[in-house]
Amino acid sequence: MTKAAELLGISQSAASAAIRSLEQQHGVQLFNRVGRNIELAQTGRRFLPEAKAVLERAAAAHNVLDHVSQTITGSLSIAASQTIASYWLPRRLASFHEAYPAVRLSVTIGNTRHVETNVLDGTADFGLVEGRTESDILRRAKLDVDRLMLVVAHSHPEIAEVSCGHPDIRGLRWIIREGGSGTREVLEDLARREGVSFADLQIFLVLPSNEAVRQAVEAGAGATIISELVVARAVAEGSLRSVPIDLPKRDFAMITHRDRQASLAQMALKAHLGAKAGETVPG
């Protein structure tokens, strides 16, 4: 309840009072109070889709007024995967804020699967991902291209090759991201191309963030495939060594729900991110 109140910009007591008023007005119980926590009751679960529909209609009505007035205001909720959120997005959002100071931005971070879910259920207005998406009710627009690298610690022994430009991926100890991560998908794809079962790889560590993966590799724990944005400085400074390998580039993409009308603010940010994609952003 406290988190919901913060998102709405009201006090926790005001949010609780609004729920009580709705329950009393209709003689129902929307939530079960379980100790210090609350959870949706059966009535609440039945009511939730209708409540979401009302909010979406209200947002659509607001968008109509925005289009009529051509005023770019409001708020945008962005869900972004880790590489994009940490290394690609911040400077672009800063420049967007300079151009459109009346638009309030909020960003949540998760892996590609989490971002896709947030866009589908309306938690986020749109998502930014580097991995594949599965739902056919999402629109996907390419914003930029990311280069992947296979890296090990500078002190790591030389890596055997099965052929020129094809390191023996079976012989490496791997540090990887969790399932659902776009970065992990790259290693899964590489294993398929090399005719190696992913289960046969020596997966030494599974970690929840790019930074944790980079630090583990720098400490000599093993190898990883990761975005150049994450490790470029470490490679330049010599704490990591890039291993020659032919890896395909991957897209940074914006995903939106095809059944939800885009606001002027959303269209402005999409255009801004697309335009900035071709520019060099300082590291």
Sort 112 into a burial class: Cβ within 10 Å, 0-12 / 13-18 / 19+: buried
Would you state the pLDDT for residue 276?
59
Q: pTM of the prediction?
A: 0.70
Q: Mean pLDDT of successive 10-residue segments in the chain (283 residues)?
A: 83 88 90 84 90 82 62 88 94 93 93 94 94 92 94 93 84 94 92 93 94 96 96 96 92 93 87 68 34
Would you state the pLDDT for residue 162?
77
What is d(CA 198, CA 203) in angstroms, rounded to the nearest whole number?
9
What is d(CA 132, CA 239) in angstroms, rounded to the nearest whole number?
31
Can you give the residue range of the structural domain that contains 218? 148-248
In a shared domain, residues 156 and 200: yes
Would you state the pLDDT for residue 68?
52
Would you state the pLDDT for residue 253?
95
What is d(CA 183, CA 143) in angstroms, rounded to the nearest whole number?
17
In a shared domain, residues 202 and 155: yes
What is d(CA 55, CA 119) in angstroms, rounded to the nearest whole number?
15
In a shared domain, residues 172 and 231: yes
Would you state the pLDDT for residue 2?
84
What is d(CA 263, CA 66) in angstroms, rounded to the nearest whole number?
7
Task: State how far the alpha carbon of 115 is from the alpha carbons of 79, 109, 127, 129, in Å.
Answer: 5, 8, 6, 7
In a shared domain, residues 243 and 106: no
In a shared domain, residues 237 and 154: yes
Question: What CATH code is carried by the domain that includes residue 272?
Answer: 3.40.190.10
What is d(CA 72, CA 104) in angstroms, rounded to the nearest whole number?
11
Domain count, the chain: 2
In a shared domain, residues 124 and 186: no
Would you state the pLDDT for residue 263?
84
